Amino acid sequence: MVKVPKLKLDSYQPLRDVIFETLRKAIISGDIKPGERLMEVSLAEQMGVSRTPVREAIRRLEAEGLVTMVPRKGTHVSELSSKDIIDVLEVRGALDKLATSLAAKRVQPQQIRALESIHKQFISCVEKGNMEGAIRKDIEFHDAIYAASGNSRLIGVLSSLKEHVYRFRVIYLRDLNIAEHVEQEHQQILEALREGNAERAAELSENHIRNQMDAIVEALNQKKL
């Protein structure tokens, strides 16, 4: 049975947005598992709201691909096969490459400084063995590059893909050792960006994602999914 927390209605935001975020987090974090049904009435009751905003939130989850709707039957959390995640990573690889290449051409000095700061914090997390923090800093690092690309459409598509990657990690690979090579690769990308060398930056980021994909595929094979 799906369980979600009661809502906190602090700052004013439409209920649909609050509910959307709540459900989204619950799905990404694995609290609601693939295949589980989302029933409007029960969700609405648990959250203490009516069905209307719940429906709207579910529509948005569907648009993100996190849930699947069948008309007149209902909604369930989308399954996430290894084929799915490979598909996502293929797309993400191409877009990450584009983002890094654009960023090399357009990045502002202040954005470089922000990247350096994030990278330092990443290293510090790794040294302390704080994996959760390292993952967060890894995400931040890439987000900062996306932002520096100056292409808002690209940022939007990538942020939607990111959710799926993260969801996959949570479901299958809680213990994935992310720090391997990553620190060094980030360092190199950072240098290429600093030099404004778009070609090299693109190449490095392509490799970076490919390595991640390989690590995931290998981890999957070990678990023989």
Which two structure tokens, joined as six digits, stand for 120? 């330092």
Closest by CA to 126, choosing from 169, 172, 186, 174, is 186
- The rounded Cα 135 to chain-centroid distance in angstroms is 11
Of the candidate spans 34-42, 153-161, 189-197, 200-208, the one that interacts with DNA by CB under 7 A turns out to be 34-42
The H-or-E segment that residue 203 falls in is: helix 198-222
Among 21, 55, 60, 179, binds DNA (CB under 7 A): 55
The 160-199 contact track toward its own copies, x by CB under 8 A, reads -x--x-----------------------------------
Place of tokens 């390595």: 211
Closest by CA to 65, choosing from 81, 82, 86, 79, is 79
Q: Is 114 helix (H, G, I), strand (E, B) or coil?
A: helix
**Binding of residue 117 to DNA (CB under 7 A):** no
Task: Using CB under 7 A, count the residues that bind DNA.
Answer: 23
**Binding of residue 38 to its own copies (CB under 8 A):** no
Among 30, 34, 65, 133, binds its own copies (CB under 8 A): 65
The 93-112 contact track toward its own copies, x by CB under 8 A, reads xxx-xx---x----------
**Binding of residue 59 to its own copies (CB under 8 A):** yes
**In angstroms, what CA-CA distances link 105 with 4, 147, 201, 202?**
44, 13, 10, 11
User: Can you give the binding site for its own copies, defined by CB under 8 A?
Assistant: 13-14, 17, 52, 55-56, 59-60, 63-65, 71-72, 84, 87-88, 90-91, 93-95, 97-98, 102, 151-154, 156-157, 161, 164
